Amino acid sequence: MKRRDFLKISGAAGLMSVGGTNLVQAQGMHTGPYWLFIEAFGGWDPTSFCDPKGRGLGPNGDISDYDQNDVQTVGNIAYAPPPDSFSGGGGLFSNQEFFTNHYQRLVVVNGIDMGTNSHVAARRAAFTGSLPQDYPSTAALIAAELAPDLAIPYVVGSVSETTVTNGIVPRVGLGGSELGAVRELAYPNRSVPTDARESRQYLSNSNLDLVQAASAARRQRLIASQRLTRINGAQVLHDSVRDIDKSTLGAFVDSLTNNVSIPSSFVGDSRARQMINDAQNAFAAFESGAAATAHVRAGGFDTHDDHDARHYPRLMGHLAAIDFIIQAAIDRGFGNNLIIVMGSDFGRTNRINSDAGKDHWPIGSMMVWGAQAFVDGNRVVGGTDNEQRALQVNTSTLDIDSNGVTLTPEYVHQSLRRLAGVQNGGVAAQFPFDEAALRIFS
């Protein structure tokens, strides 16, 4: 419900005498879980981490450059070792470290047929759930359904086809001019929004107090002059919440300076570093009560040449950044109130091309991390055969079943909607999926 609609209803029902401000504040609060969507921009290679294959598989026997016997397992999740060219370690983060750290809270979804090899179409499908339809991102839909009255309900690292909103909820960038505008809204009296010194204010504190007192007195006179009880009640409620968003935005931008520093291991990885910065800004928005969902991303995965030499270090940097982000959320106290959705455009081909690279392949994977209260972890749903083609799953048991269905973005995002509890909501009804909400995540 929009705040303006709530005020209308509250005023009409005479609710201003029952709870007053508390009722409206409760309407604007979001207690979680918070949602962070992380995008690997360009098309990651699941066979290099969560859908391992090894040498001898694929139509040419060259899906991946590692021995099938070196595939590792932790809990119920199998993962790929480094290719031979990196088996010496090289100082890289490892699949073993990532999956060992997080398997208990992780659901891996393999064998997702994106239905396209086009970057733009696949990215949109990967984060909205629909290839043919013009749908908003699932992050936007969750924010619109669960937290529409927050100051900046949906925050993003960058604006793209993966963060579309279709006008259902505001979308605010976590950097550049958009973040600058948020600072100005939070502190309109500062000539430099990041400078709290009184000497850099348009009005001194004493003069600002006079202006605010005069404004409050005028509002009270207008309220007192209203003789209709219902309208008067609505005015009282409106006045009681007029500064909530401003206060929330102030808490958000103030907390940006308190973000955890980034370890030196990320100094040479600008993509991972930016993704960590964006995620920490999103966390500040969550903690202040300003936002409920966020989307961040890092690129470098479109490796049409020198795949092993380029893709594996990029992928390990990406997983290292996610590992750091998860630990940061835990350290900040809301790791048990967070769901992280990880995805990419699609996968990469089941063969090496003439440039030692891998091209676009429509079969991909996603991973979802979350506390046991939300996500039934230590599981793999779906799979691919020895040529990296999607296997069908039983809609009831989710076991591999030749009489089952092929997983698509629609199935995955319908299940994400179910996990968020919004699959039957009014906003979701505007963007329906035909597929059933499988119990992929819980």
Determine the pLDDT at residue 96: 95
Contact 94, 82 (CB under 8 A): yes
Q: How far is CA 235 from CA 23, 209, 220, 230, 396, in A?
A: 14, 22, 9, 9, 52
What is the spatial distance between Cα 366 and Cα 50, in angstroms, rounded to a whole number?
A: 9
Nearest-angstrom CA–CA distance, 401 and 409: 19
pLDDT of the residue at 282: 97
Q: How confident is the model at residue 175, as a pLDDT? A: 85
Residues 175 and 271: their CA atoms lie apart, in Å, by: 14
The pLDDT of residue 186:
87
For residue 83, give the nearest of 307, 245, 289, 411 by alpha carbon: 307
pLDDT of the residue at 242: 63
How would you class 167 by CB atoms within 10 Å of its CB: exposed for 0-12, middle for 13-18, buried for 19 or more? exposed
Cβ–Cβ < 8 Å for 175, 181: no
β-sheet bridge partners, residue 72: 79
Q: Do 49 and 301 meet the contact criterion of CB atoms below 8 Å apart? A: no
Give the pLDDT confidence score for residue 4 in this predicted structure: 42
pLDDT tens, the chain, 442 aa long:
444 444 334 334 433 333 333 333 434 578 999 999 999 999 999 999 999 999 999 999 999 999 999 999 999 999 999 877 665 556 789 999 999 999 999 999 999 999 999 999 999 999 999 999 999 999 999 999 999 999 999 999 999 999 999 999 999 999 888 888 988 988 888 999 888 898 888 988 898 889 888 988 898 998 889 888 888 888 787 776 666 667 889 999 998 866 777 888 888 899 999 999 999 999 999 999 999 999 999 999 999 999 999 999 999 999 999 999 999 999 999 999 999 999 999 999 999 999 999 999 999 999 999 999 999 999 999 999 999 999 999 999 999 999 999 999 999 999 999 999 999 989 999 999 999 899 999 8
Report the C-alpha gap between 20 and 6 in whole angstroms.
12
Give the model's pLDDT for residue 263.
Answer: 83
- Distances, alpha carbon 338 to alpha carbons 167, 294, 341, 392, in Å: 25, 11, 10, 30
Specify the pLDDT at position 9. Answer: 41
- Cβ neighbors of 227 (< 8 A, separation 6 or more) are none
Q: Residue 244's pLDDT is what?
A: 62
Q: Tokens at residue 101, please?
A: 């750290």
Is the link from the previous residue into 33 a cis peptide, with omega within 30 of 0? Answer: yes
Neighbours of 291 (CB within 10 A): 29
pLDDT of residue 339: 98
What is the residue whose two structure tokens read 């950097």? 175
State the Rg of the chain over Cα: 24
Alpha carbons within 13 A on the beta-carbon side of 368: 27
pTM: 0.89
